[in-house]
Homo-oligomer: A and B are copies of this chain.
Amino acid sequence: MQVEIISIGNELVQGAVNTDAAFIAEALYSIGLTVDRIVNVPDKPKQLENQLSESFKKSNIVITTGGLGPTFDDITRATVSKVLGRKLVFSREIMESIARHFVDRNIEMPKENECQAYLLEGAKPIPNKVGTAPGMLLEHSGKLVAIILPGPPHEMEPMFKNTVIPFLRERYEREFIKQSVIQTAGILESALAAKIDDVVHRRRPRGEAEVDFGLLARPGIVTVRVAVHSKNELLAEETLRRVRKELYNLLDKDIFGEGAYTLEETAGSLLIQKKKTVGVAESCTGGLVASRLTNVPGSSLYFKQGIVAYSDEAKIKMLGVSEALLKKSGAVSMEVAREMAEGCKRIAAVDFALGITGIAGPGGGSPKKPVGLVYIAIATPKETYVEEKRFVGQRGQIKEQTANCAIDMLRRTLLSL
C-alpha cells in the first residue's frame, strides 16, 4: 500500500509552509494509513502532469490539495483529467450549489466560478460547505484512489474529516493504531520528560502492544502523544489504557485534556459544571484572553465581560484602579494586576475575574521591568492571588504564553474548589 499527498501551489515552493499535508498525514495516521511521500509542486501544468503521472502509477492512494479555485492559476482539474484520460463533465447539481453559495451572501456570481461545476467523469463530489470548489473522489482502474481537494485549510479540513476519512476507513482495513494526545499546561517540556521517563523507557511487559511516545512543546503547553500499534484491536486498547493510567498518575493536574481539547474548553466546562461566571481585565494581552475564552461555543453561559484597559485612564475609569497606586507601583505591578482583577469582578458581577498586566515588547522594557515581565491576578469569591512571570520571545509569543498561563490559573483555581 503506497500513499502520497501532492500539494499544488507556487507559494508552496516559494516559502509558504504546507499545513494541508500535515493535517492530512496526521488524520491518515490516526486511521492506520501511513503516508509514504508528500510532494509540493508549483502551479505549472507540465510539472504537475509529470508528478501526477508518476504518482498515479506508483501509489494506491493519491491525495491532492490546491488548484481548484476559479482563476487562471488553478490547473488541477484540467491536469488530472489529462493524466487519467477522464473527461470533465458539467454537473448541474454542483452549479446550483455554487450559485446558492453566492445567493446566500447576496453577491452576484462571477462567471469565473462556473469552471468549478465540472467533475472528472466517474468521480463522486466531496461536498464543500464553506467554499465553492467541491472535491472529488475517484476510484480508477481498480487499483488507484485519487482524492482531489481544495487548498484553503478551512475548506479542505472539514471535507477531509467528514467525507474522505469515513470512505478510507471503510475501504482499507489496517493495523490498529490507538492513540492518546495528552495536553498539559504549566510544566516545562524537560520537567515533564523527567517525570515520565520511567514510563517511556521501561520495558513494556510481554503481551503488551508496541508503544511510541512523542513530546511537542508550544508556548505554555506541552503535548504527550502515545501511540499503540497492534493487529489485535483489544490488545492495543488495553495497552493504551494502561499507559494512559500511568501517565495520569504521574502528571495529575498538569493534564488539562486530550486530543484537540483546548485549555479554554477545559476551563469552560469547569465553569459550567460548578455554575460559575468569569470576566477578564487585560492590558498586555489586549483582548486575547477574552477572545480565547469566547472561542468556545456556548461560552456566553459563563463569560460575562471583558475589558481591555490599555491606557492608565482606562484602568482608572473602567476598572477603578487607584491613580495613586498606578503612580507609585507603575501599571506593570503585582498591585495593579490585583486591582484590575478585583475591579473586573465587582463591575462585571462575576464569580472569578482575571487581571493581566505586563510588557509584551518589543518596546517599553527597562532593566527593572524587562520585556516579558507579566503579572496575572485571579480574584475568587474568597481572595485574590497574583503570580509574577517572566516570559521570553517576540510580542506574539509573550501574549500567547501569558494567555495560556492565565487560563491555566483559572482552570487550576476551579479544580481546587
Show the binding face of A for B, using Cβ within 8 Å.
9-19, 21-23, 25-27, 29, 34-43, 47, 51, 69-73, 101, 104-107, 110-113, 129-130, 152, 154, 158, 188-191, 193-194, 197, 200-201, 212-219, 225, 227, 280, 282, 285-291, 293-295, 297-300, 303-311, 313-314, 317-318, 347-349, 361-363, 390, 392-397, 399
Contact = CB atoms under 8 A, between A and B. Distances in A.
14 contacts: A14-B26, A14-B29, A14-B225, A14-B227, A15-B27, A17-B22, A18-B21, A39-B39, A72-B197, A286-B290, A287-B287, A287-B294, A299-B310, A304-B314
Given A13-B37, A38-B13, A310-B300, A130 B397 contact: yes
A55 to B, nearest CB: 11
Contacts of A23: 15
A255 to B, nearest CB: 18
Contact of A310 (B39, B194, B303): B303
Given A297-B361, A397-B154, A73 B215 contact: yes
Contacts of A227: 14
B42 A36 contact: yes
Nearest to A302: B310
Copies of this chain, complex-wide, total 2
Contacts of A287: 280, 282, 287-291, 294, 306, 308
A117 B39 CA distance: 31
Given A18-B18, A298-B363, A307-B308, 6 more contacts: A12-B38, A70-B193, A104-B390, A110-B188, A287-B306, A305-B314
Contacts of A304: 310-311, 313-314
6 closest Cβ pairs, A-B complex = A15-B26, A286-B294, A287-B290, A306-B308, A287-B287, A287-B291
A38 B47 CA distance: 12
Most buried by B among A225, A287, A304, A318: A287
Nearest to A23: B15
B286 A308 contact: no
A174 B12 CA distance: 21
A36 B41 contact: yes
Nearest to A24: B15
B295 A286 contact: yes
B34 A13 contact: yes
